[in-house]
Amino acid sequence: MEKRLSRYIWKHTRAQQLWILLVVAVSMIPYFLSFDLPKQIVNGPIQGDGFDRPDATQTFMNINFDLPYIGNVELFSGLELTRMQMLFGLSLVFLVLVIINGLFKFYINTYKGRLGERLLRRIRFELVDRILRFPPTQFKRMKGAEVSSMVKDEVEPLGGFTGDAFVSPALLGGQALTALFFIFMQNVWLGLIAGVMVGVQAVIIPRMRRRLLVLGRERQITARELAGRVSEIVDGIGTIHAYDTSNFERADIAARLGRIFKIRYDLYQWKFLVKFINNFLAQLTPFLFYCIGGYLALQGQLDIGQLIAVISAYKDLPGPLKDLIDWDQTRQDVQVKYVQVVEQFSAEQIIDSKIQALSSDTAPMPAPLAAVNLTLADDSGARLIERVSVQIKHGETVAIIGGAGAGGDVLAEAFARLIWPESGKVTAGGEDILDLPESVVGRGLTYVSSDAYFFYGTLGENLLYGLKHAPLSERSYSGADATQRKWDVNEARLAGNPDYDTKADWIDYRAASATGADDIFPSLLEVLDTVQLSKDILDLALRTVIDPADHPELAAGIVEMRHALRDELEEAGLSGLVVPFEPGAYNIEATVGENLLFGTAVGPALAGKALGKNAYFRSVVGQSGLDRVLFDMGYSIAENAVELFADLPPDHPFFQQLTFMSADDLPYYQATLQKLKGRGYDAASEDERSSIIRLSALYVEPRHRFGLLTRELMEKIVDVRHQFYDGMPEELKGAIERYDPERYVASASLMDNVLFGRISQKHADGSKRIRSIVSSLLNTLGLLEQVLRIGGDFNVGAGGKRLTAVQRQKLNLARALVRGSEYYVFNRPLPGLDHRLQDEIVRDVMKLLRRNGREPALIWVLSNTGLSHLFDRVLVFDRGQLVEDGTPDTLAEKSGVFKELVSS
Amino acid sequence: MGTHMLLKDEVQMLRRVPLFAGVEPGKLKLLAFTSDRVSYDVGEALFQQGDAGDAAYVVLDGKADILVDTSSGPIKVAEVEKNSIVGEIAILCDVSRTATVKTTTSLEALRIRKDHFLKLLTDFPEITIEIMRVLADRLSHTTSELSEARSRARNPDQD
């Protein structure tokens, strides 16, 4: 990028700058004309110069030129007008000039604005483009938030300046000179006064503003650092909490804000001081005009019209002058900003843009992959591996093992171009991989390490992320969309941006062994099964609440599936595993409250605490006498709870089991029990009644096992349920969604809709078993794909933080396995998984990569050395050296490092 | 439907478990309340070797085998009897399950979650001592088996 902003702007907007300068020059003509007009109006029709007699006339709008060689050319001979007609005529001309000037201004401002925005777009793109091409070491010293604040905020004023870079000095200078020239024309002495004052302003003010520039630069840097610190706090929040350093962070932020405040306050003080002096100097000139000009007019050496014209012309001088000085200030300011940003974005070894050129067809990565005399060093210069030479042939499976810091993992990083050689090189087919296009290396070699990064978006998008190399099929547009697309492409080109269509299909289906969006699912499922993530995704999906209107087919399928599930359970002898909701029966595994209400509240009228206060609900329960029964039941529950838990401290883990009250509620119930002493419903106050009835509403007999639910009570509850629905007033019908075996419950999760009942407490791992039955049933009914797609729509959050660490590692591996590559480099991708799972996944991954007769090379840096016997060849690293290389069997026979590592 | 067991019945069963013999009935009721009652069919696994240990099990009724995976397939190393505790090692030592436990009859158990179990040990020394006794018993058993195996390995021709 150019060192000077003005040169950068000139390079990219030369033609437009020249055009706008021309327009500005043309706009000067009506501008100058409009200066002379007030004098003509005042001196002519108003004061009566040339209208000595009442019927005298003058020529209006005579247009003629004296051209050299041709002589006088008269375009319009003019009209003869009286004094009054002349006044209106000239005033109308004035109005027309005002409009013309306004239109010029409008055009110029719009044009400049567009010019500036295009340049801003260009700069921002160029900066991000550079980030994408930085060498890996650059990122060790960068704070993401600082860089993004540079791209977003710090270059912003550059765009605003662009339009003014050349136009403003021309326009404002022209205006100021015009005004000055005009004053000179009227009176040389007054012109001289104005000229001297302008000179004083032009010298003093920029000098005073130098300090403003220094402060501005400081403000920029401190604000950028603040952005960096805030994002550090967000990223490191776990560490801050863990070490109780939140107040240290507070102190740091407060200190920074204090510095920023001081800088900004200094800025204000200077800014307004400069403004004050500038204004004073500007107002000093008219003072001199009134004083001296008035004296001259009274002496008769200056006519009043002239004086008014001078003063009126002067009115137009301070404005442009002030703007000119402001422009100069802005120029210096943005120059400083530009230099700062360009410095931050310059790197010695920036990747050539040709290497990252867009390419939609893939050349295979040449074989073999080799490290040639490779030496790698860390940031401090310490050698990580030294002079390692190794060749990996097509189709080979290679395990890399070694202790911590042995160097195998950095070799893998070098294969992935994450660390650049200190000396030696990594080659593919004899060519340095850093010289090969990324479209070859980035597709031919798939790398996975344990630090997975996920982009904000859905799980599905992240899974397919590794396939988005180029827009593979053009998207066709029609109508307004086509116009928009055309505009997008055109504007992108004008700002030097690429015009790739983000809405096009970027997914390289062929690389995922599919032909399109319709048939990619089986291969994705295969990958998800391999890394054992499909179960997690299914669980995510089953916990999702979907709107049946959006997925009518699925909702209908789920309702149908309820019957199939019953049959399936019956067949497996597990019919007791789920107790279904039946409109005419009590569900023993659901709470008493759920059995009574038999639906989900969807409006505020019957939700939560409002239910107990709802008049209709109360009247139904009260008339049936159920309230008294539930009160007695709640009383027994309270007694049991107090007996069990009274002695335990409130933070005791056993309280988790107490689902119907919290540890904090216990003293209240203890006191209430003591007060009531078994005197029953009538002795209790309104509040006590509802708090005790609340306990029974949450009671589940098989879970709490207090033995309080009799057959009669269950029948009564079902009875009251019917009464509640039968007599329900119209206005409440929208507030509750009644359980209906034949309808999808919109407010419940997919799983709850499948089960349409409660899982029995009695069976061990009941929910685990039911999940596997549900999953296989979804598969046989052909609903699995739709359900998994819903799971795939799960938003993984910033950096994938909404997934567990294990899920992230699995997704990270899955994202790599989706891609078809010639080389797979796995650098301890699954450290968080237990050994059994690691073992299974490694075996399954090896099987998956060899499906359909493919033979990619696999390089796996193992954290579990016991798995090395699965590979053709083992590379053993020790202290930065490749110490052993051979088949696992031959290495096991030697008594070397391998034997030591595997046996330990 | 009304066949599920009530808290008071469970307390009676727990009292017959040697581990809890010295614990007063009030505390046993609390233990029963905070644990999950689970039942297994024949051939079901309570847990698999290599899983993370998240609970201990008190077998109230039924039998199970303790199996360890080896390169030549699973080997049965012991049997779990009625009124005994199983799965406590993974909780106490914070390691993954060292063996698989598979039922040989239908089995009724009380599943005590890890944090509850640890709390139980700190709150009731009598349970802790009993657990120590069980572990020490197993250790002496294992030691004698080991020395037997070693002596066999030293004099292979005698076998």
Q: What is the dihedral of CA A622, A628, A634, A639, to 10 degrees?
A: 160
Which of A654, A764, A835 lies nearest to residue B34, judging by beta carbons?
A654
Is residue A247 pLDDT above 50, yes or no?
A: yes
CB B119 to CB A653 under 8 A? Answer: yes
In this complex, the residue of A644, A707, A764 whose CB is nearest that of residue B6 is A707
- What's the pLDDT at A764? 64
Distance from CA of B82 to the nearest CA of A (A): 17
Instruction: Give me the mean pLDDT over the A200-209 stretch.
Output: 82
Q: Which residues of B touch A834 (CB under 8 A)?
A: 50-52, 96
Q: Using a CB–CB cutoff of 8 Å, tell me whether A651 touches chain B.
A: no
Of B31 and A62, the one with more pLDDT? B31
CA atoms within 13 A on the CB side of B68: 6
What whole-number distance in Å separates Cα of residue A197 and Cα of residue A194? 5
Residue type, A382: A
Q: Do B48 and A706 touch (CB under 8 A)?
A: no
Selecting from A644, A656, A764 the residue whose C-beta is nearest the C-beta of B30 gives A644
Asked if the structure places residue B157 within a domain, the reply is no
A704: which chain B residues are within 8 Å (Cβ-Cβ)?
7, 33
Question: A155 near A345, Cβ under 8 Å?
Answer: no
Partners of A163 in the β-ladder: none
User: Other C-beta atoms within 10 Å of A385: how many?
Assistant: 26
- Residue A471: asked if its preceding bond is cis (omega within 30°), the reply is no
- How many Å lie between the alpha carbon of A453 and the closest alpha carbon of chain B? 26
Instruction: Find all residues with CB under 8 Å of A141, minimum gap 6, and list them.
Output: none
Chain B residues with CB under 8 Å of a chain A CB are 1-2, 4-8, 10, 26, 29-30, 32-34, 36-40, 44, 46, 48-52, 96, 109, 111, 115-116, 119
Residue with tokens 């039968």: A726
Helix, strand or coil for residue A122?
A: helix
- How many beta carbons lie within 10 A of that of residue A533, not counting itself? 23
Distance CA A443, CA A365 (A): 8
Token pair of A491, please? 């504007």
Cα–Cα dist A332/A6, whole Å: 10
Instruction: Choose from A40-54, A388-402, A888-902 the range with maximum mean pLDDT.
Output: A388-402
**Which residues in chain B are contacts of A643 at CB distance < 8 A?**
26, 29
Query: What gap in Å lies between CA A561 and CA A753, rounded to an integer?
Result: 9
Residues of A in contact with B10 (CB under 8 A): 705
Among the ranges A324-328, B2-6, B154-158, which has the highest mean pLDDT value? A324-328
Residue B16, classed as helix, strand or coil, is: coil
- Pick the residue from chain B with its C-alpha nearest to A655: B34
- B1, B30, B51 ranked by CB distance to A654: nearest: B30
Residue contact A761–B37, C-beta within 8 A: yes
Q: Which residues of B touch A657 (CB under 8 A)?
A: 33-34
Kindly tell me the sign of the dihedral angle through the C-alpha atoms of A290, A292, A298, A300.
negative
Residue with the larger pLDDT of the pair A89 and A32: A89
Q: Which residue from B minimizes the CA distance to A654? A: B34
> What does the alpha-carbon distance between residue B35 and residue B57 come to, in Å, rounded to a whole number?
9
What is the mean pLDDT of the segment spanning A124-139? 91
Determine which of A577, A652, A705 to mutate to test the interface with B (most B C-beta atoms within 10 Å): A705
Residue B29 resides in a domain:
yes
Spatial distance between the Cα atoms of A762 and A772, rounded to a whole number of angstroms: 18
The residues near A780 (Cβ < 8 Å, ≥ 6 apart) are none
Parallel, antiparallel or unpaired: strands A58-60 and A599-601: unpaired
Beta pairing partners, A810:
none
pLDDT, one tens digit per residue, over B23-78 is 777 778 888 888 888 888 888 888 888 777 888 898 888 999 999 888 788 888 88
Greatest CA separation found in chain A? 129
Smallest Cβ distance to B116: which of A645, A654, A764? Answer: A654
Any CB–CB contact under 8 A between A707 and chain B? yes
Contact A657 B96 (CB under 8 A): no
The pLDDT score that the predictor gives to residue B157 is: 54
Question: Is A22 in a helix, a strand, or coil?
Answer: helix
Tokens representing residue A181 in the block? 């020239």
Report the gap between the CA of A835 and the closest CA in chain B (Å): 7
From the list A772, A810, A741, A437, the residue with the least C-alpha distance to A577 is A772
Q: Which residues of A touch B48 (CB under 8 A)?
A: 836
CB pairs under 8 A between A and B: 68
A212 and A274 Cβ atoms separated by less than 8 Å: yes
Give the mean pLDDT of A778-787: 88
Please name which of B130, B45, B146 lies closest in space to residue B88, comparing C-alpha atoms.
Answer: B130
By the 8 A CB rule, do B20 and B127 touch?
yes
What is the CB neighbour count within 10 angstroms for residue A298? 10
- Tell whether the model's pLDDT for residue B1 goes beyond 50: no
- Cβ separation B115–A707 shorter than 8 A: no
Tens digits of residue pLDDT in A444-468: 999 999 888 899 999 999 999 999 9
Nearest to B116 among A653, A834, A836 (CB): A653
- Residue A417 structure tokens: 């171009």
Q: How far apart are the CA of A818 and the nearest CA of chain B, in angstroms?
A: 28
> Closest by alpha carbon to A521, among A129, A758, A137, A786?
A786
In Å, how far are A5, A7, A164, A175 from A113, measured between CA atoms?
17, 19, 9, 20
The C-alpha atoms of residue A126 and residue A667 are separated, in whole angstroms, by 66
Q: Is residue B154 part of a domain?
A: no
Residues of B in contact with A837 (CB under 8 A): 50
Distance CA A481, CA A555 (A): 33
Neighbouring C-beta atoms of residue A647, cutoff 10 Å: 11
Smallest Cα distance from B25 to chain A, Å: 11
Higher-confidence residue of A660 and A49: namely: A660
pLDDT single digits (tens) B121-149: 887 787 788 778 878 887 898 888 888 88
Rounded Cα–Cα distance for residues A560 and A553 (Å): 11
A534, A578, A623, A790 from A541: Cα distances, Å: 10, 20, 43, 5
H or E segment to which residue B75 belongs: strand B73-80
- On whether any CB of chain B is under 8 Å from the CB of A835, the answer is yes
Nearest-10 Cα torsion for A13, A18, A19, A20? 80
Q: What is the DSSP string of A823-840?
A: EEEEES--TTS-HHHHHH
Other CB atoms within 10 Å distance of the CB of residue A272 = 10
- As a whole number of Å, the CA-based R_g of chain B is 17
Q: Is the pLDDT of residue A262 over 90?
A: yes
CB A707 to CB B26 under 8 A?
no
A702 touches chain B (CB under 8 A): yes
Per-residue pLDDT band for A666 (boundaries 50, 70, 90) equals: confident
Give the distance from residue B33's alpha carbon to the nearest chain A alpha carbon, in angstroms.
7
CB contact under 8 A, B4 and A764: no
Q: For chain B, how are helix, strand and coil distributed in percent, rounded to 5?
A: 45, 30, 25
Q: Is the per-residue pLDDT at A123 higher than 90?
A: yes
HSE-up of residue A267 (Cα within 13 Å, Cβ side): 15
Tokens of A409: 């993992």
Q: Are A653 and B10 inside 8 Å of each other by CB?
A: no
Q: Do β-strands A599-601 and A736-738 pair in parallel, antiparallel, or remain unpaired?
A: antiparallel
Instruction: Return mean pLDDT, chain A.
Output: 87
How far is Cα A745 from Cα A562, in angstroms, rounded to an integer? 12
Domain interval for residue B109: 7-115+123-147
Q: Out of A644, A653, A837, whose CB is closest to B29?
A: A644
Structure tokens at A886: 């051979």
Q: What angle do CA A476, A482, A487 make, to 5 degrees?
A: 125
Give a yes or no: residue B49 inside a domain: yes
Give the distance from residue B145's alpha carbon to the nearest chain A alpha carbon, in angstroms: 24
> Which DSSP category does A763 fall into?
B
DSSP A352: P
The per-residue pLDDT for B2 is: 39
Return the DSSP state at A802.
Answer: T
Distance between CA atoms of residues A580 and A566, nearest Å: 9
Q: Which of A656, A762, A835 is closest, CB to CB, to B37?
A: A762
So what's the pLDDT on residue B159? 44
High-pLDDT (> 90) share of chain A, %: 30
Q: Which range, A181-195, A444-458, A564-578, A661-675, has the best average confidence (pLDDT)?
A: A444-458
* pLDDT given for residue A769 in this prediction: 79
Q: Residue B29: its chain A contacts at CB < 8 A? A: 643-644
- Residue B60 DSSP SS3: strand
Write the residue in A648, A763, A836 that is nearest to B50 by C-beta. A836
Range of lowest pLDDT (A462-471, A543-552, A759-768, B88-97): A759-768
Give the distance, in angstroms, between the CA of residue A539 and the centroid of all CA atoms in the same chain: 27
- Helix, strand and coil content of chain A, in percent to the nearest 5, comes to 60, 10, 25
Quote the strand ranges of A157-234, DSSP E. none
- A855 or A900, which is more confident: A855
β-pair partners for A371: A390, A426
- C-alpha span between A795 and A777 (Å, rounded): 26
Structure tokens given for A523: 């291969």
Amino acid letter for position A93? V
Q: Check B6 against A835: CB less than 8 A apart.
A: no
Q: How far apart are CA A577 and CA B38, in angstroms?
A: 12
Q: What pLDDT does residue A710 have?
A: 87
List of domains in chain A: 5-344 (1.20.1560.10), 369-494+798-903 (3.40.50.300), 545-580+742-793 (no CATH), 589-740 (no CATH)
A534 and A807 Cβ atoms separated by less than 8 Å: no
Task: Tell me if B156 is assigned to some domain.
Answer: no
Question: How many angstroms away from the CA of A589 is the closest CA of chain B?
Answer: 10
**Inter-chain touch A762–B4, beta carbons under 8 Å:** yes
Contact B4 A835 (CB under 8 A): no
SS3 A269: helix
ipTM comes to: 0.74
Check residue A512 and give its pLDDT: 86
- Indicate whether A294 pLDDT > 50: yes
Q: Is residue B85 part of a domain?
A: yes
Residue range A602-628: mean pLDDT, rounded: 82
Pairwise CA distance, residues B11 & B5, whole Å: 10
Kindly list the distances between the CA atom of residue A45 and the CA atoms of A73, A97, B69, in Å, as whole numbers in the listed order.
27, 19, 115
Structure tokens at A304: 């009043």
Report whether pLDDT(A493) > 90. yes
Mark yes or no for CB contact B4/A704 under 8 Å.
Answer: no
Which residue in B has a C-alpha nearest to residue A837's C-alpha? B50
Write out chain B residues lying below 8 Å of A653, CB-based.
115-116, 119
Q: What is the CATH number of the domain that holds B45?
A: 2.60.120.10
B111 and B55 Cβ atoms separated by less than 8 Å = yes
A57 CB-contact burial (10 Å; exposed 0-12 / middle 13-18 / buried 19+): middle
| Residue of A705, A764, A835 with shortest CB distance to B7 | A705
Using CB atoms, pick whichever of A644, A645, A701 lies closest to residue B4.
Answer: A701
> How far away is chain A from the Cα of B6, in angstroms, using its nearest Cα?
5
Nearest Cα to Cα of residue A448 among A138, A798, A863: A863
- Split into its structural domains, chain B has a count of 1
Q: Is residue B24 part of a domain?
A: yes
Per-residue pLDDT of A316-354, as tens digits, reads 777 888 888 888 888 888 888 898 888 888 888 888 888
Is residue B82 assigned to a domain? yes
Contact indicator for A75, A64 with CB cutoff of 8 Å:
yes
Please judge whether B39 and A761 are an interchain contact, meaning their C-beta atoms are less than 8 angstroms apart.
no
Question: Is the model's pLDDT at A118 over the cut of 90?
Answer: yes
